[in-house]
Structure 1
Amino acid sequence: MVTEGANYLVSIVTFLGAAIIVVPLFKKIGLGPVLGYLAAGLAIGPFGLALFTDSTTIIHIAELGVVMFLFLVGLEIQPKQLWGLRKYIFGMGSLQVLGATGALTAIGLLYNFSLQFSFIAASGFVLTSTAIVMQTLSYRNDMTSDPSRRIIAVLLFEDLLIVPLLALVAILSPAQTADSLQSHSLWQHIIVSFAGLALLIVAGIWLLDPLFRLVAKTKIRELMTAVALFVVLGSALLMEATGLSMAMGAFLAGVLLSNSSFRHQLEVDIDPFKGLLLGLFFLGVGMSLDLTHVLNHWKMIVSALFLMMITKGIIIYAVARATGSTKLQSLDRAVLMAQGGEFAFVLFSSAALQGVISAEVHANMTAIVVLSMALTPLFIVIYQKWIAPKFAVREVLENDVIEEQNDIILIGLGRFGQIVNHLLRASGFQPTIIDKDAKLVSGMKKRGIRSYFGDACHPDLLHRAGIETVKLVIVAIDNTKQATKIVQHIRQINPKAKIIARAYDRHHVFELAQAGANVQIRETFDSALRTGKQALTTLGIEQEKVHRIGNMFFGKDRHSVKLMADVYDPKKPMFTNADMLKIAFEQDEELKLEIQKILDEEI
């Protein structure tokens, strides 16, 4: 027993040692950690140093990393946002899968395989690696952008294909008759899968949040972590038991908890397990590469590998362009999703076991999928360093597609808007953020702040953000004309919306008030008022008096601005409006008297 425990400990130490040595090295030379994990797995696997022989078991255990990753992704997508992705999940997803499957089947026929063999091989290769794609998006800090959400939508559709593809394999099995399976198994699979899906949704809506509240009352930190793992793994197990993928179950559990007050705590609890298991998964994939088989059939495997990846990439690019993505976004998606994935192993194993494909085809396709997964991180590095910059220079930026509709819209994420957003997010609110500085938006996405590139002066962009039903709009841009124009448009479209607008100066306040802004905030007023109060304190006035003077000054100024806004005429030059000058003089005199009263009081 002691020897057996020591052997397990040696295995764990070997895994960790390989990762510690190889992964930092690959990251330092610019090849990325994913390729480092794959190389480490190859080095310690049966076709390297032969320290491990059972890569299949390791991959199966390590798939939990993918499961936890999808759970964390789900936490970032609220149910209404997922519903907003439905056209991409079923529309764009089906278009990409059907197009790629047809093209890849044709490649199989070119190699003189039967239609049945070619179709199964194509169906497996069309299922993209969720682990590689999601890990790459995570390293970029780009999980919340519109292009990334489209990629996630396609991955979800591919997960849904597991049930019909496995049922199809059973139908094609020589040991079964198609009629009996079509009348029984297929419908049984579908019914059981939908029942499991419904059960998970019901549990997520009515049971999960109360469960976490109950556990939180115990104030036992490790129990909270245990419940988080139970929810993730339990959801995955339920989906797998009903024929769907584990990743699908974890993702849906995350979505159902995305509005929970425990969301941030769940992220903290799950994240360490996710990273470690994902690394183990890539190690397992590297270990599973049969170099002997590849060398014996290298001409067929290498030619089919590049032909299938290029063909799939072309289809992905075409579908992306047809569904509104830019050239750069489409190319990025093609490079990122051109490989086969982990679900292909399940499909090929089932097909080989039931005699649908031969053992040789199984070995060839497994090698092709593993090589495609191993080469993808390298292709991504090449694309990002030498190809993407050239396209980025030539491409004209287009407004992002906004699919979420929140109660709050924040326009402008500069030095002013960032403070507003920080306060709102810290208070539990999630505004839809729009800014026309592409570099700033990209940087904020890397910080995990979901924002959209676009010019809010365009009515279509505000329409997609849900301006007709929004409750609060904050206009925080520093362009006075554009700010006024945006406020006017919002007020015309949505008379009930509350509008808080950033103003450049007092005259801009008047313009915003007439345009329909409920509250106008001068960008330098509060900081200037704080400076004045500090000056009074430095001059020896008591702190309590300074505080009262500041509050009174603030109230008086707001009142005078309101009075002057009623008589403001933009056609009259500054200091020529007699009514405004009269109000200003009267308010100044009242202000002096009030301040003098405070100064004369004895404390």
Structure 2
Amino acid sequence: MSILNEVAVFLIAAVIAVPLFKRLGLGSILGYLAAGALIGPSGLGFVGKPEDVLHFAEFGVVLFLFIVGLELQPARLWALRRSVFGLGLAQVALSAAVLTGAGMLLGLSMKAALIAGLGLSLSSTAIALQLLGERQQLTARHGRESFAILLFQDLAVIPLLALIPLLSERPGDTGGGGQGILLSVLKVVAVLAVVVLSGRFLVRPAFRLIASTQLQELFTAATLLVVVGVALLMNFAGISMALGTFLAGVLLADSEYRHELEADIEPFKGLLLGLFFIAVGMSMNLGLVIQRPLLIATCVVGVMALKGAVLFWLGRPMGLMLQGRRIMSLALAQGGEFGFVLFGAAASAGVLDRELTEQLVVVVSLSMAATPLLLTLHDRVVERQLRRAVPAEYDHLEDAEQQPVIIAGFGRYGQIIGRVLNMLDIGFTALEVSPEQVDFLRRYGNKIYYGDASRLDLLRAAGAGKAKLLVLAIDDPDASVRTAQLVRANFPQLPVYARARNRAHAYRLMDEGVKLLNRETLLSSLEMAFFVLQGLGFDEGRARHIIERFRKYDQELLQKQYAVYQDEEKLIQTSQQFREELRSLFEQDNRPQTQAQLQENGEDNAPKAPPPRQP
């Protein structure tokens, strides 16, 4: 089959499989893997030689790590050093020890069990980071710790590959003894020095020169050249290409071209990373699975269970919450792409026989395919069952009646109010229904009670009958309205200061008699509009007057629309009338003064077009 035909097969398989699996809620990665298994040698056989495709598609992982590096400035990377060399080392060492022991119990020799344990201790950087990124958890605590572990694993590939010749029984495979290892280390240090120095003193000036040409395609070509060049250097030194390009990305993370570099690389990364997952699916020997289903299934389950248990246990001393520990252990429990490299090198050196190598490759491939499925099951089954399980006992509020303020909901909104009150030494009782949030805030010294503010007994225990006011800062609109209903029915004398997520939420709160409410994004948006007006040449007093006038008019509209908010046609009509009235008001009152104000500030500072009309 010609290259063009193979490209068409890859594209057709991806376009069909990935949307289907996304529609089923199984994620894009599982779709790519299934597409690869279908068109590969063990499936329909449309494409052969998956190892060639995999070797080329690994460049997608290289580009992926380059983008990750662009988003991680050197200072942030330095802050991760303890997690990288502490948690990362512990994970590789403990996982390798446990898996090596399991291999020896299954009858493998010491050397074969050691290589298998070390290879299986590595996780898939591409799959783990992609899954965490899709879930928007890379910046969460467990996401950062997972990234640190993966970074150490990439570093560990170098000494692991150097270990294989030492275990080989073939003459001449010792890699030159201590002198050979020393030369390899010196080569690695030299190449890393070249990358760091060129990134600082060569690449940035070169990008400035290329950017001055204003040729977008030239900038894209230069970006790809940097990635390819660093990858070739790393390959020459025997270092992980992904690790090298990650380092290059970190060195460019605080440059002025960071966002443009990321935008140029992103399309290539997406295509090649998808091709990498397809190649992994193609490399699965389904025939071996059919021949030995029980053995392969036992190995896959055993590897992921043992490795996941180690990760779950390590999450505890790192202070991760239970949910974070579960997600980290599932996201990193699979084998990784570097396992293919390690097992291949070990087979070439005679440390592993061909049959065992094929079994290990299948185990790694299936574990990679199982990871997205396990995370999906975790979200749909485990998390759901935990929510339905008997909830933890709410806190007893012994001294809460002495506090004049009750804050229901202590997330980002309620915490700011609490900090202001705390600064003025005004006591308050904070109620939060999320046990994870309560545990997290208590670690920082916050006094907060675990409890559901929509329960009458807890409100009474919190002192709602004697409190001066209640701040309703619950994030969930339904829970917020239920709490407002409860307060109105049982504590009618208690003033409620409510947070509304939007106008619809505000109308529902107004139905419950809440008069003092604040739409959470309104004031911050108006403050930004104030700065925008100043940037357009309005003086501070004039800009503040315009913003205040808009705020009052919008508040009046809120009251008017409340009477018809359940009638969509009338709601649209009143919104249109509001825009016209406001536009007419400013045209009559403000526009002449606006033009004069802009002229006073000079033609260079004024926009060429008239000031934009208020929406």
Query: What's the TM-score once normalised by structure 1's chain length?
Result: 0.68
Residue of structure 2 in register with 1:16 after alignment: 11
* Cα pair 1:107 1:308 within 8 Å, conserved: no
Which residue does the alignment assign to 1:273?
Answer: 268
2:234 aligned residue (218, 225, 239): 239
In structure 2, the CA distance between the partners of 1:224 and 1:298, relative to structure 1 (3 Å rule), is: same
The alpha-carbon distance between structure 1 residues 212 and 319, as it changes in their structure 2 partners (threshold 3 A), is: same
Please list, as runs of the form range in 1=range in 2, the aligned pairs for 1:189-204 lying within 5 A after superposition: 189-204=184-199
Which segments of 5 or more consecutive residues in structure 1 lack a partner in the other structure? Answer: 1-5, 397-410, 418-435, 443-452, 462-477, 480-501, 505-520, 550-603
Counterpart of 1:30 in structure 2 is 25
In the superposition, relative to structure 1, how do residues 414 and 75 fare at CA in structure 2: closer, same or farther (>3 Å)? farther
Q: Is the 8 A contact 2:122 2:338 kept in 1?
A: yes
Counterpart position of 2:547: 527
1:349 to 332, 341, 344: 344
- Pairing partner for 1:114 from 103, 109, 112: 109
1:528-555 deviation digits (Å, cap 9, x = unpaired): 2556897995695564457999xxxxxx
The answer as to whether partners of 2:168 and 2:174 remain within 8 angstroms in 1 is no
- Going from structure 1 to structure 2, the CA distance change for 1:246 and 1:457 (only over 3 Å counts) comes to closer
Contact 2:165–2:175 (CA under 8 A) maintained in structure 1:
no
The CA deviation string for residues 359-403 of structure 1, in whole angstroms up to 9 with x for no partner, is: 12111111111111111111111111111344578699xxxxxxx
C-alpha contact 1:536 1:546 (8 A) present in aligned 2: no
Q: Which among 178, 182, 192 is matched to residue 183 of structure 1?
A: 178
Instruction: Tell me the residue number matched to 1:360.
Output: 355
The answer to whether the 8 A contact 1:173-1:354 is kept is: yes
Inter-CA distance 143–180: structure 2 relative to 1 (3 Å threshold): closer
1:330 aligns with 2:330: no
Residue 142 of structure 1: SS of its match in structure 2? coil
Structure 2 CA distance for aligned equivalents of residues 244 and 36 of structure 1: 31
**Partner AA of 2:359 in structure 1:** N
What letter matches 2:228 in structure 1?
A: L
Which of 74, 79, 85 is matched with 1:79 structurally? 74
Aligned ranges 1:31-110 → 2 under 5 Å: 31-110=26-105
CA distance in 1, matches of 2:218, 2:211: 9
Query: Cα–Cα, structure 1 residues 262 and 395, in superposed 2: closer, same or farther, change >3 Å?
Result: farther
What amino acid does structure 2 have at the position aligned with 1:388?
A: E
The offset of 1:295, in angstroms, is 2.4
Superposed displacement of residue 58, structure 1 = 0.4
* Secondary structure of 1:184's aligned partner: helix
- The answer (yes or no) to whether the contact 1:328–1:392 under 8 Å persists in 2 is no
Q: Which residue is 1:223 aligned to? A: 218
- Tell me, yes or no, if the aligned pair for 1:201 and 1:256 is still in contact at 8 Å: yes
- Partner Cα distance (1:281, 1:355) in 2: 28
Give the deviation of 1:297 after TM superposition.
2.9
Q: What is the count of residue pairs matched by the alignment?
A: 446
Opposite residue 547 of structure 2, the aligned amino acid is S
Deviations 1:137-158 (A, max 9, x none): 2222333333212111111100
Deviation at 1:198, TM superposition (A): 1.5
Note the C-alpha offset of 1:296.
2.5
Cα–Cα, structure 1 residues 526 and 437, in superposed 2: closer, same or farther, change >3 Å? farther
Against the structure 1 CA distance between its residues 40 and 531, is the aligned structure 2 distance closer, same or farther, given a 3 Å change threshold? closer
What CA distance in whole angstroms lies between the structure 2 residues aligned with 1:102 and 1:457? 33
2:455 equivalent in structure 1: none
> Structure 1 residues 13, 355: CA separation in 2 closer, same or farther (over 3 Å shift)?
same
Aligned CA distance change for structure 1 residues 530 and 25 (closer, same or farther; 3 Å): closer
| CA displacement at 1:337 relative to structure 2 | 0.6
Please give the per-residue CA displacement for 1:250-294, whole angstroms capped at 9, x wherever unaligned: 111111111111111111110000111111111111111112222
Structure-2 change in CA distance of 1:228 and 1:528 (3 Å): same
Specify the code of the residue in structure 2 equivalent to 1:12. Answer: V
Matched, 1:299 2:299: no
Asked whether 1:173 is paired with 2:168, we answer yes
Name the TM-score, length of structure 2 as normaliser.
Answer: 0.66
Which residue of structure 2 aligns with residue 123 of structure 1?
118
Partner of 2:312: 317
Quote the Cα distance in structure 1 between the aligned partners of 2:18 and 2:28. Answer: 5
For the Cα contact (< 8 Å) 2:199–2:252, is it kept in 1? yes
Where does residue 250 of structure 1 map in the other structure?
245
| Runs (5+) with no aligned partner, structure 2 | 394-409, 417-430, 448-472, 475-520, 524-540, 554-581, 598-615
Q: Give the alignment of 1:197-596 within 5 angstroms.
A: 197-391=192-386, 458=444, 527-529=547-549, 541=589, 543-545=591-593
For residue 207 of structure 1, give the secondary structure of its aligned residue in structure 2. helix
CA contact (8 A) 1:22 1:36 kept: yes
For the Cα contact (< 8 Å) 1:171–1:181, is it kept in 2? no
- 1:526 and 1:209, CA in 2 relative to 1: closer, same or farther beyond 3 A? farther
Q: How big is the shift at 1:182?
A: 3.9
* Cα distance, 1:110 vs structure 2: 1.1
Q: C-alpha distance in 1, partners of 2:348/2:57? A: 23
Percent identity for Structure 1 against Structure 2: 38
CA contact (8 A) 2:141 2:324 kept: no
SS in 1 for 2:2: helix
| Post-superposition offset of 1:298 | 2.7
Letter in 2 for 1:134: L
Task: Summarize deviations over 1:502-539 as a string: whole Å, max 9, x none.
Answer: 9x9xxxxxxxxxxxxxxxx9xx9873255689799569
Residues 267, 413 of structure 1: alpha-carbon distance in 2 compared, 3 angstrom cutoff = farther
Deviations 1:220-250 (A, max 9, x none): 1100000111111211221121111011011
Structure 1 residues 553-596: Cα deviation after superposition (integer angstroms, max 9, x where no partner): xxxxxxxxxxxxxxxxxxxxxxxxxxxxxxxxxxxxxxxxxxxx
Which residue of structure 2 aligns with residue 162 of structure 1? 157
1:6-63: CA deviations, max 9, x gaps?
Answer: 8111111011011111111111111111111111111111111111110001011111
- Mapped to 1, the partners of 2:583 and 2:226 lie a distance apart of 57
Q: Give 1:110's aligned amino acid.
A: L
Following superposition, the deviation at residue 99 of structure 1 comes to 0.7
CA distance in 1: counterparts of 2:357 and 2:372, whole angstroms: 24
CA contact (8 A) 1:41 1:283 kept: yes
1:62-82 Cα offsets, whole Å, 9 max, x none, are: 111111111111111100000
